[in-house]
């Protein structure tokens, strides 16, 4: 085997019992990354699908492929485990990576700030100089944004959260103020 010992739990000459964990040995050529993917995309996932990965600083990029898909949906998070195999000289065990996995095209969807989402199901829009709540369906959560369905082209979406906002609250458009 070619690799590195990353954990040794037994000293030289020590008594070893059956079933005792002696340490951990890893292959530094190929890594496996477990991802939690929204269960709504479970039917769109396929073994062999390409996954683009990068570190949090976006200085290291790698490409992997889906090698296994878990058979169970986590009931608390409604996610399914997807296992990606990847290689790269710059990769290290324990490194944080972000994964971009293309699952499907979503038509009539908009990307908005996560701060605008109210109770995980609606956003404020401007209708006739008053705030109105409009229901949306969250499709995909990113770090600072969310992709939602249910908004129509031409709606005037509130661009920043308003402290104490409520439905029917009179407001003025910022670009309409003179």
**Which residues, at least 6 apart from 125, have a Cβ–Cβ distance to it below 8 Å?**
131, 132, 133, 134, 151, 155, 156, 157, 158
Q: What is the pLDDT of residue 109?
A: 87
Question: Per-residue pLDDT for 165 more than 70?
Answer: yes
Which of the four pLDDT bands, split at 50, 70 and 90, describes residue 129? confident
* Cα–Cα distance measured from residue 28 to residue 21, given in angstroms and rounded to the nearest whole number: 21
**Which residues, at least 6 apart from 144, have a Cβ–Cβ distance to it below 8 Å?**
113, 114
Q: What is the pLDDT of residue 77?
A: 84
* Mean of pLDDT values over 152-175: 84
Question: Per-residue pLDDT for 177 more than 50?
Answer: no
pTM: 0.57
H/E segment holding residue 9:
none
Q: How many CA atoms lie within 13 A of 137 on its CB side?
A: 9
């Amino acid at each position: 085997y070619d690799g590195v010992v990353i954990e040794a739990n037994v000293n030289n000459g020590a008594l070893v019992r059956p079933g005792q964990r002696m340490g951990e040995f890893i292959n530094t050529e190929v890594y496996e990354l477990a991802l939690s993917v929204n269960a709504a995309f479970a039917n769109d996932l396929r073994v062999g699908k390409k996954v683009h990965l990068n570190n949090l600083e976006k200085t290291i990029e790698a490409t992997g492929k889906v090698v296994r898909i878990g058979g169970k949906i986590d009931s608390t998070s409604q996610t399914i485990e997807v296992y990606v195999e990847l290689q790269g000289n710059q990769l290290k065990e324990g490194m944080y990576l972000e994964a971009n996995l293309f699952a499907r095209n979503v038509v009539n969807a908009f990307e908005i700030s996560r701060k605008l989402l109210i109770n995980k199901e609606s956003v404020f829009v401007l209708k006739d100089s008053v705030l109105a709540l409009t229901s949306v369906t969250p499709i995909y959560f990113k770090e600072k944004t969310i992709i939602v369905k249910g908004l129509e082209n031409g709606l005037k979406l509130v661009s920043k959260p308003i402290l104490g906002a409520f439905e029917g609250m009179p407001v003025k458009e910022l670009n309409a103020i003179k």
